[in-house]
Amino acid sequence: MKTAEIIKPEFRTAERTRGITPFIAMEILERAKALEAQGRRIIQLQLGEPDFDTPEVIKAAHQRALREGHTHYTPSLGDPELKEALSAHYRKRYKLDISPDRFFIVPGSSPGLMLLFSAILNPGDAVILPDPGYPCYDNMVKFFGGEARCVAAREEDGFLFRPEDLRSALGPEVRAILINSPANPTGAVIDEERLRFLASLGRLVISDEIYHGLTYGDEPEHSILEYTDRAVATGGFSKLFAMTGWRLGYLVLPPELTRTMLILSQNFLLSTSAAVQKAGVCALKEAWPEVEIMRQTYDRRRKLLLTGLSRLGLGVKSEPTGAFYVLANASHVSSDSFALAFDLLNKAGVGVAPGLDFGAAAEGFLRFSYANSEANIEEGLERLKTYLDQK
């Protein structure tokens, strides 16, 4: 009897996945975990994740929601109660009257941005991005066939874009301008004058406001929605409420985009966890005292880290006043931030993110996160001093 020939199907990845670059900060994390498994103590200052536990009041609300049976689908654009709570939050914080219908609840702001880019980009469309900037923006735009057009934000300008540079990057193919304030990796907060300038350009502005609420200067933070309706603001609960693992974010959409985003959500997300959304309602209504304690703690750590880095010759020209990052110039130590970051990890046991991860304009810099304890920051600084003294 003749044996049938077994045909093995060809396995190949889609072309669009081949240009997606690794997130180097996560590569540092994986190496740090491997070193810890060998028994080494690593001071991890590379992570953009709060080290605080989620406030108890939020966890209790989630447990209560499960007991009450909130275990089913919600509407694809989100639980109406959470959308109402967000509308009230924007009214109180920004003096904006935004209809609950414009809030789109998503399982993390990153999936929300993915759906947004899929909704607005055709092949060849361009999106202006900040450089330095969060590296996943670039990959998201490219994944959907767009061109990521970076505009440098210079250290001498406090890592804020120059209006003339941004204007010169505009063209008919530019579909949107993306900003992030407070910013990752720089901690910079975009001022009101620049926000007004962006609003005057007549382009769709995508404003990633995930770090809103984590600012430390005297100036109030502003949402792009205060200056234009031709904008999408993204936010979430991960950073401010220490809820990274809960995966709860949102977008504020112009009415023209709501129907398209609804259809995409119905197909690709269905809905966000019902019980998690109830926890979000509680966060907005009851967790602000805990948030303020966390914010003040971050501010103390920020000052500690800035002072220590300056003492080591790794200071910054303009003090970051938002998020929980410091982007420090280390070009006098090495022009190769990738190699320097891994050398620091392997020899000093200190994890930092290389500037190269965040764009060409950040090469020669290192990003330090102060989402870690003061004791760990102090130990990390001591290890850095020992490392630099041996260079």
Q: What is the spatial distance between Cα 359 and Cα 186, in angstroms, rounded to a whole number?
A: 12
DSSP per-residue string spanning 282-351:
HHHHH-HHHHHHHHHHHHHHHHHHHHHHHHTT---SS---BTTEEEEE-TTT-S-HHHHHHHIIIII-EE
Query: pLDDT tens digits for 194-249?
Result: 999 999 999 999 999 999 999 998 878 999 999 999 999 999 999 999 999 999 99
* Helix, strand, or coil (residue 183): coil
pLDDT digits (tens, 9 = 90+) for 337-365: 999 999 999 999 999 999 999 999 999 99
Q: Which amino acid is at 95?
A: K
pLDDT in tens, 325-338: 999 999 999 999 99
Q: What is the mean pLDDT of residues 51-74?
A: 98
Domain ranges of the chain: 21-48+289-389, 56-286
* Model confidence at 58: pLDDT above 70: yes
Answer whether residue 43 shows pLDDT above 60: yes
2 falls in which pLDDT band (50, 70, 90)?
low
Is 56-286 in the same CATH topology as 21-48+289-389? Answer: no
The C-alpha angle 223, 126, 324, rounded to 5 degrees, equals 40
56-286 CATH fold: Aspartate Aminotransferase; domain 2 (3.40.640)
Are 181 and 206 in contact by the 8 Å Cβ rule? The answer is: no
Give dist(CA 166, CA 152) in Å, integer.
9
pLDDT exceeds cutoff 80 at 278: yes
Indicate the class that CATH gives domain 21-48+289-389: alpha beta
Does this model's pTM top 0.85? My answer is yes
